[in-house]
Amino acid sequence: MGVPNEKLRVITEDVGGAFGMKTPPYPEYPALLVAAKNSAGRCNGSRRASEASSPTRRRATPSPEVALALDDKGKFLALKMRHLCNQGAYVSTAGVRYNTNNFARCLPACYRIPKVDASVACYFSNPFRSPLIAAPERPEANYALERASKEAARIIGMDPVRCARKI
């Protein structure tokens, strides 16, 4: 932008954690620099504005498809999980990598499952990007596995807690 460092003034007050909201660069940064250079204005963001416009909220994605194999005593034998992850409208510098790796790395969680087949596919949609956030895709993976465990126990007629202890 041709502005010497001594002419720039950036103030960042105590803004807290933000759960990855400040990690990636945003496409509007260059526009903000041009606007700041062409005016004597300033940019102040409130918590309410940040909440309304930040991409840190979890996206509504379809529940993962899960198949869990158990023997007749409730011992887990194999797990297959397929997950779709909404990336928003833009590719994030961290979103795709973390949203795919974190989901798969959570499996088999606390269970001893000898065979795990997990895959994650990302797709784009019209909202803003889905960036790196606190524990991206980990809750989704763990929740899906716990739901599958409870449903499997119900199907074979076993107490879900007893089934979970068969790990």
Yes or no: say if 139 and 147 are a contact pair by the CB < 8 Å rule.
no
- What are the sequence ranges of the domains in the chain? 5-53, 65-164
Least confident of 2-6, 82-86, 97-101: 97-101
Arithmetic mean of pLDDT, 145-156: 90
pLDDT at residue number 15: 62
- Three-class secondary structure of residue 116 per DSSP: strand
Q: Is 92 exposed, middle or buried (0-12, 13-18, 19+ CB in 10 A)?
A: buried
Q: Which tens digit of pLDDT belongs to each residue from 19-66? A: 556 666 667 778 878 887 787 666 666 767 666 566 555 555 678 899
At residue 114, the pLDDT reads 94
3-state secondary structure of 65: strand
CATH no., domain 65-164 = 3.30.365.10
